[in-house]
Amino acid sequence: MSSSTNVIRRLDPCVVNKIAAGEVIQRPASALKEMLENSLDAGATQISIVVKEGGNKLLQITDTGHGIRKEDLPVLCHRHTTSKLASFEDLETINTLGFRGEALCSISFVSNLTVTTMTEGALHGYRASYKDSEMLPPGPKPVAAVRGTTITVEDLFYNVPTRRKALKSAAEEYARVMDVVTRYALMASGRCAFSCKRLGESRADVLTLPGASLCDNIRALYGAAVANNLLPLSLKAGKEPTPAIGMDDGVCLVVEGFISSASYAAKRTQMVLFINGRAVDCGPMRRALEATYAQLLPKASKPFLCLDLKLPPRHVDVNTHPTKREVGFIHQEEITSLICEAVESTLSNSNTSRTLATLKAPLATPNATMAGFIPRPSQTQMTLGGSSTQQPKGNNSSQADAAPLSYRPEKLVRVDHMTQSLDAFFPGLTSQSRKAEGAAGGVPEGQQPGATSKAAAAAALIGSLARKR
């Protein structure tokens, strides 16, 4: 009973912070998520991300926010230091993405962290390095900078070899980083532009423009195949979701977003969900929406959904997950049921027609069994009644439909050797011979038409071969 192994002891603060850092910072994508939230809370209108080896070697984020004051730099990476929260009651009405004040502290315990910042109206910026939540000497250095903040994270998990070995390959980690950037780029549509690229690359893998709408960003990030099959979804239930709404006021909900139509088909569900401006996951809602689509879509076809839910701040608990990936909210079953009914109604109203791609078959020709016709794809709208109508293609659609199919002689395939003769190789001689036959009074008796031209062509071919020898 006196064994020293059973003695309860207080852990060293450094050990405590490293354990806490492992909960908050699980991989490069989670570190980037925390920094993106700080940038958006700072009012950034443009965010640039540079990544090296999936974020293991380098993860740099630059924003155009309001910057950090020089006086705040010494305590910037201390645990639970924040400008977004003063009391616990503030969590009920908080409207910022971050509130704990532990993201930069956790990052500083598992990486080499450098911060360069400049506030509006300052003559120059400051740069400071951090390790284990403390600023390294000699402290902030004056540097040339622009308004905003640049955070550089190098050698992530350099002092946690087990976590570093557990990470996936650089390509897989970069794919996770891209997924985080894509979600936040959609969330900030219309107020912040995003770019993300690998170190040394000139072309950005993720690029959104300032002022672009949500639909435009979906097209830029997920492609035209998704954007062309989207349906707008709008839903409102109860009162306007304001901070004054109490917990006893029932369901107060506003939903805006886009869902895929019945013509869209994919192998996996893509759901981007925002609740009061936070990119979160909600497993029950996801499964309910998949079941709703399963009633209308063919087997194994999955939907695309991008939903922005606005709830009263007092109805949402943002402090339920270490990485804030999930939130809790009251009336969850009723809200999920309302959204599923709205999705089903939208799909049912739009399911009277579907757009299919068809190919026009080549017309039959007497001289070519397999002619080189190039079929032209066309968009045909098939209605539920069985009829089909051609979709308009612009002002010249009628002319395009009336135009003949393109004829490509070089695409001809000879299926009968009797249909090929020497005439095809000497079109000039053939026409001259036929003119000569016409001048001579036609074809001699007992001789087939074209025999003279064939003989002339054969003689010309033999002569050319003899000259080559």
Burial of 413 (0-12, 13-18, 19+ CB in 10 A): exposed
Predicted local distance difference test score (pLDDT) of residue 44 = 92
Strand 388-390 and strand 316-317: the pairing is unpaired
Predicted local distance difference test score (pLDDT) of residue 370 = 44
Residues in the chain predicted with pLDDT less than 50, given as ranges, are 1, 361, 363-374, 377-378, 384-403, 443
Structure tokens at 420: 């090929």
Predicted local distance difference test score (pLDDT) of residue 341 = 92
Predicted local distance difference test score (pLDDT) of residue 355 = 56
Nearest one of 360, 346, 358 to 233, comparing CA atoms: 346
Residue 272 CB contacts under 8 Å (≥ 6 apart), including other chains: 183, 186, 279, 305, 306, 307
This prediction has a pTM of 0.70
Q: Roughly how many angstroms between the first and final C-alpha of the chain, as a whole number?
A: 111
Residue pair 441/422 in contact (Cβ under 8 Å)? The answer is no
Alpha carbon distance 33, 61 (integer Å): 11
Alpha carbon distance 14, 131 (integer Å): 11
Residue type, 79: R
Predicted local distance difference test score (pLDDT) of residue 400 = 44
Alpha carbon distance 181, 167 (integer Å): 19
Pinpoint the alpha helices (H) of 240-362.
283-294, 332-350
Predicted local distance difference test score (pLDDT) of residue 371 = 43
Alpha carbon distance 281, 118 (integer Å): 34
329, β-bridge pairs: 316
Predicted local distance difference test score (pLDDT) of residue 454 = 59
